[in-house]
Amino acid sequence: MTSIDLNADLGEGFGRWRLTDDERLLSVVTSANVACGFHAGDAVTMRRVCELAAERGVRIGAQVSYRDLAGFGRRAMDVPPAELAAEVAYQIGALEVFARAAGARVAYVKPHGALYNRVVHDEEQAAAVVDGVLLADAALPVLGLPGSRLLELAGKAGLPVVAEAFADRAYTDAGTLVPRTLEGAVVTDPDAVVERSLGLARSGEVVSHTGTRIEVRARSLCLHGDTPGAVDLARRVRERLAASGVRVEAFA
């Protein structure tokens, strides 16, 4: 039977501000990418999300990013490799404290935003992220875009690698994500997102922004939690997958 993991970016709040409906999304997804304080999240939020995830058996992932609270981690930054490696390890370590307190552990690492897109092609920044993961835990899986420099270097370093796909993001013909600055970068039609999810899970294919069918082989499917109607859409995706014989389960 075909199986796939459903992951979502959670804990994306700060103080009294909350962007994602963490509790409801944790009833749908199997893996939670928890913001570690650099693009969003704070100690109280991280602890709360870890407790909720552990209660529901959802895997906890460290969503590491550039230090960019004001820009939500989506602004391009040039961070020296040694500094970036240390900051990646720092973020993983901070989340691990709360995961362990909740009776769980950090099960994987996923970059966020500008860092995620940067390490698709930038070898130096990708290597720094890998160094940071190794510093924190040399057995942690790394979640990222298929064919990225990050997954290539992580695999060479002996880290488990997991490819992911996005049902609500437009793809280029090369299999990379269309930048959010361009029109149509985010797929907003719920029916289209559901059908794209099924296609990615069943056949490992998706239609690019030019209308070309491309291959995107992935073990995990990302459902963004900061979009309108995110919870209902996530439920629709999971129900459609299950009805089509796709088993939804965590990869870690």
Q: How far is CA 210 from CA 155, 174, 191, in A?
A: 31, 11, 19
Dump pLDDT digits (tens) for 99-138.
999 999 999 999 999 999 999 999 999 999 999 999 999 9
**pLDDT of amino acid 63:** 98
Q: Where is average pLDDT lowest: 109-113, 158-162, 188-192, 226-230? A: 226-230
Question: pLDDT per residue over 202-249, tens digit each?
Answer: 999 999 999 999 999 999 999 887 777 889 999 999 999 999 999 999
E strand segments, the chain: 3-10, 13-14, 17-18, 31-35, 59-64, 106-111, 142-144, 161-166, 205-207, 213-215, 220-222, 247-248
Binned at pLDDT 50, 70 and 90, residue 180 comes out as: confident
Q: Is the pLDDT of residue 14 over 90?
A: no
H helices of 33-74, in order, are 43-56
Residue 1 has a pLDDT of: 60
144 within 8 A of 163, measured Cβ to Cβ: yes
Is the pLDDT assigned to residue 156 strictly greater than 90? yes
- For 3-248, CATH number out of 2.30.110.10, 3.20.20.140, 3.30.420.40, 3.20.20.370 equals 3.20.20.370
